[in-house]
Structure 1
């Protein structure tokens, strides 16, 4: 596997599960991750990177498995005290989690590249699978809703995904610059995997960084996506609601349309097998298989099957 290069584009919980699956497979040493940074925001003067931290905590076995985010064995004394002081505390940040944000914020103030900060945080948690950033610049997802423009965390956490979504923008994306590490990794990739993350605000935000999508299109990689939907519903997150709000169907077809023109392969759950024929008419190879990932074994099994499928079909297309 030493010559194989796999790149995983990953958002929060779904992306972390895919990363864990690859880390537990024979493809661990061949994989690099490019994570979503457009959910980042400032809270209590600290810079918070929810999707990146979910990747780090998951791969470092520090994640709260029950809720899918945050640190396990967490306490909230600081947040409770801030609430008593009259501060808004709807963004739940635990005491252990706050140490991460304090460290990140201090290094950012010192001018350290965000990419290097992620490397140091990953090293602290014993992670060997490289986590790359699509850009070191600030990009923030803005959700246009019936309540007005909201940051993604305001929409997702504070408003609990209730507002109707009219449009999504990636503020700062037009002037951002892709990191050399992410572009180099994409260029040499044999397989590029889009995790079962929200195609609009997670994977879509990564692809919005100038140069990233173009690099994928120009690469010789086999590009494959795993649908985040099972029976038209997400396990976590608002992808199904956002697809509908954005005028797309909340099924495999709607997810595919978010990536149209980019994919060679597409993975859908058994419950969505009725979409396979339509997807194949779009020119993509389709893998129909159970995609629910609860245990480490299930994660490794699915991701191994996806990579094996991608490599086999890559060879067929190259023949």
Structure 2
């Protein structure tokens, strides 16, 4: 495909989609804008879960069974940490530590998160342009029936068990899009903008909360295509369906379309759910991405719908 493609993405599901796009588009023509609302400091280390999931997935290093972390990981560090009564609720594998240690070291030398991310992507020969949504800190906070929790405390430590009442993005109002983010949306050579099938409230909303990004999407000349995370009335992975219920929302593609109202031109939905009642332009396909072939199919569906709407 000629022309550039820009993707807004969270972690596992979005990484699968980007991997599919890399099979049908030149890597240099793809820009991934990645959620950093999950980022946090832990044990003095800088953790960027969604960026790292993309790095591992696109470089072929990801754990194939779980979709995150490294394949063949070992856990000597965690065993030593536990022996010292250290916090062990967030797993840090031995190989995984390389990113988490090097990231704050490079940041301390003056590199912004965008520069560090580009360094990692280039080191592993990925070829695409991978951008954090912002170089400024933005933290997803979950208001629950058990109080306010930082995202990783809710997602990892509490395993999404607390009921969600509201979500806020601390620091978003003062944040600026990372260099290249707005350009990737506005670039006249960009032919398609895709919102990955990541959790709209926990992975995509943090990106949209950074001033200027939502407005750029609304004004984009390229079609903006959203991928619904709903499959058979449920979410493939993560707490999307549970979260929607707790926020009083029906688990449907109409709700997903309404969530993105004003910024998307089309929606990709799974064949198990169909498109009955959808007013927005759409395409129906099997959106489960278990194999590389599945990921290519879903990527092509997004590109084809964008071409039809262009």
Contact 1:54 / 1:63 at 8 angstroms: preserved in 2?
A: yes
Partner of 1:292: 288
> How do 1:33-44 and structure 2 match up within 5 A?
33-44=32-43
Partner of 2:227: 226
Equivalent pairs counted in the alignment come to 308
Query: 1:96: Cα distance to partner?
Result: 0.6
- In the superposition, the TM-score normalised over structure 2's length comes to 0.97
> How do 1:182-261 and structure 2 match up within 5 A?
182-188=181-187, 189-261=190-262
Partner of 1:311: 307
Query: 1:30: Cα distance to partner?
Result: 2.4
How far apart in 2 are the matches of 1:112 and 1:215? 26
Give secondary structure in 1 for the equivalent of 2:198. Answer: coil
Contact 1:243 / 1:254 at 8 angstroms: preserved in 2?
A: no
RMSD: 1.1
Q: After the TM superposition, which segments of 4 or more aligned residues of structure 1 sit over 2 Å from their partners?
A: 26-30
How far apart in 2 are the matches of 1:191 and 1:40? 27
Query: 1:305: Cα distance to partner?
Result: 2.1
> How do 1:1-319 and structure 2 match up within 5 A?
1-2=1-2, 4-26=3-25, 28-188=27-187, 189-273=190-274, 276-280=275-279, 284-314=280-310
How far apart in 2 are the matches of 1:27 and 1:219? 22
How far apart in 1 are the matches of 2:212 and 2:72? 40
Query: 1:7: Cα distance to partner?
Result: 0.5
Give secondary structure in 2 for the equivalent of 1:277. Answer: coil
- Residue by residue over 1:228-249, the C-alpha shift from the partner in whole angstroms, topping out at 9 and shown as x without a partner, is 1101211211111111112211
In the alignment, structure 2 segments of 5+ residues that lack a partner are none
How far apart in 1 are the matches of 2:25 and 2:122? 21
- Residue by residue over 1:53-94, the C-alpha shift from the partner in whole angstroms, topping out at 9 and shown as x without a partner, is 000100000000111100111011111111110111111110
Contact 1:231 / 1:251 at 8 angstroms: preserved in 2?
A: no
How far apart in 1 are the matches of 2:304 and 2:26? 10
How far apart in 1 are the matches of 2:74 and 2:258? 42
- Residue by residue over 1:240-262, the C-alpha shift from the partner in whole angstroms, topping out at 9 and shown as x without a partner, is 11111122112212222221121
Query: 1:28: Cα distance to partner?
Result: 4.0
Contact 1:57 / 1:125 at 8 angstroms: preserved in 2?
A: no
Query: 1:160: Cα distance to partner?
Result: 0.7
How far apart in 1 are the matches of 2:15 and 2:233? 21
Query: 1:133: Cα distance to partner?
Result: 1.7
How far apart in 2 are the matches of 1:86 and 1:112? 33
